[in-house]
Amino acid sequence: MNTLAGKHLVLGLSGGIACYKAAELCRALIKSGATVQVVMTDAATQFMTAVTMQALSGRPVYTSQWDAREGNNMAHINLSREADAIVVAPASADFLSKLLHGGADELLSLLCLARPIDSVPLIVAPAMNREMWSNPATQRNMAQLRADGVHVLDVGQGDQACGETGDGRMLEAEEILDELQAFFTPQVLAGQQVLVTAGPTYEAMDPVRGITNLSSGKMGFAIARAARQAGALVTLVAGPVNLGTPRGVRRVDVRSAIDMLAAVQREVTQAQIFIATAAVADWRPDTAADQKIKKDGSGATPQLAFVENPDILATVAQSPAAQSGALFCVGFAAESHDLLAHATAKRLRKQVPLLVGNIGPSTFGQDDNALLLVDAQGAREVPRASKHDLAHELITDIARRIQSVPV
């Protein structure tokens, strides 16, 4: 599911050093399937050339309201009517003030003012020095712009070109891309709180060794991201993985199955949907040695005893919230063979309304996957696709299901 595919966006650049990020954003939008028409203020051309933006967008850049290419000499009308949205990135303090007061002394502000408000949303990514951002005048402007229906993105925090450090940096291109994808994603989970588990667990044998599995966590992280983009408040309980936290998702890091169970029990009381994608170790060593278990050259092997780990999904599925229908539980089954039979049996054993099966060895660590959705009515295959696309399809499927489940 690519919500930007086929969209036509006007990408406006106002003056600021963050214009260099607009080049990367333009390229990312094109790769996502959108068409991009770049409009630059005179100040923006001091930081980035129109030639660069033309090369990245594949379209001539507009810099003047008097551009003779428009037969009716009304670029501000034509460009705004053709757009699915106008995105201003970077949006300087001066430009935001101009928007607030309806200023229109150059093409970009003019087309923002002339856009059909009901059909062409305006999205702005502020970028400025930390003192400019925290100034009461700027904050008043931001509040009023939001009240007027402008979609104002957050700012980043960190080192600034002036040498200072603080709030006011424009978001990175990938962060803005994520926000735009979320903006165009149907908000099918608006108001819902979703808890997702992801990744493997690690069961220590001694301070340096342990038992784990090959789960990368990519599917669970993609589901958390898709749920957030669909409007949900998302908490992600993650085992030991090397993945960045999806934007807008609250992350809780854990290590062992016992840790994960404790975190889930703590967080699930606030959730309406629980999606257990984590590949939790079935067993753990009965005791973990305080020091590294070393071989002594005799050929003797260490004697390890194992105990069964708690079943996190089954524990949650048996909770009063899940039993009453107030909590919708989704389980995952990573199998090596006989997927339908094992997934069907696991769904009945765990007593969950939906079980998602996949073949573990062919998906662990990969960027794509194929799924089998198993419920009381039978099973449906979801063909192999990117985990990003599968996550959106699964979230849409869950949203349809919970709309018919009494709470």
Distances (CA, A) of 99 to 96, 102, 129, 150, 184: 5, 5, 19, 10, 23
Q: Give all strands (DSSP E) within 239-318, no chain letters.
A: 250-253, 273-276, 283-285, 306-308
Residue 2 placed within a domain? no
Whether residue 143 sits in one domain with residue 18: yes
Whether residue 83 sits in one domain with residue 126: yes
Which of 159, 184, 209 is where one domain is finished?
184
Residue 3 placed within a domain? no
How would residue 404 be classed by pLDDT, with cut points 50, 70 and 90? Answer: low
Residue 17 placed within a domain? yes
User: Residue 70: what pLDDT?
Assistant: 84
Whether residue 200 sits in one domain with residue 161: no
Residue 33 near residue 10 (C-beta atoms within 8 A): no
Q: Give the rounded percent of residues in the chain with a pLDDT score beyond 70.
A: 98
pTM beyond 0.85 = yes
Q: Worst-scoring range by mean pLDDT, 25-39, 171-185, 327-341?
A: 327-341
Distances (CA, A) of 91 to 19, 151, 153: 9, 12, 10
Question: Which residue segment(s) compose the domain that 73 sits in?
Answer: 8-184
User: Residue 1: what pLDDT?
Assistant: 66
Whether residue 97 sits in one domain with residue 245: no
Whether residue 173 sits in one domain with residue 57: yes
Per-residue pLDDT, averaged over 91-119, amounts to 96
Per-residue pLDDT, averaged over 30-51, amounts to 97
Whether residue 170 sits in one domain with residue 26: yes
Residue 296 placed within a domain? no
User: Residue 152: what pLDDT?
Assistant: 98
Active-site residue, selected from the candidate residues 19, 26, 112, 162: 162
Residue 214 placed within a domain? yes
Residue 278 near residue 200 (C-beta atoms within 8 A): yes
Instruction: Calculate Rg over the CA atoms of the chain.
Output: 26
Q: What's the pLDDT tens digit per position in 219-254?
A: 999 999 999 999 999 999 999 999 999 999 999 999
Whether residue 168 sits in one domain with residue 97: yes
Q: What's the pLDDT tens digit per position in 316-326?
A: 999 999 999 99
User: Residue 112: what pLDDT?
Assistant: 97
Residue 178 sits in a domain whose CATH number is 3.40.50.1950
Residue 51 placed within a domain? yes
Domain count, the chain: 2
Q: What's the pLDDT tens digit per position in 162-195?
A: 899 999 999 999 999 999 999 999 999 999 999 9
Task: Look up 19 and say whether it is catalytic.
Answer: no
Which of 126, 157, 184 is where one domain is finished?
184
Whether residue 227 sits in one domain with residue 142: no
Can you list the alpha helix ranges (DSSP code H) found in 187-283?
218-229, 257-267
Whether residue 339 sits in one domain with residue 392: yes
User: Residue 407: what pLDDT?
Assistant: 36
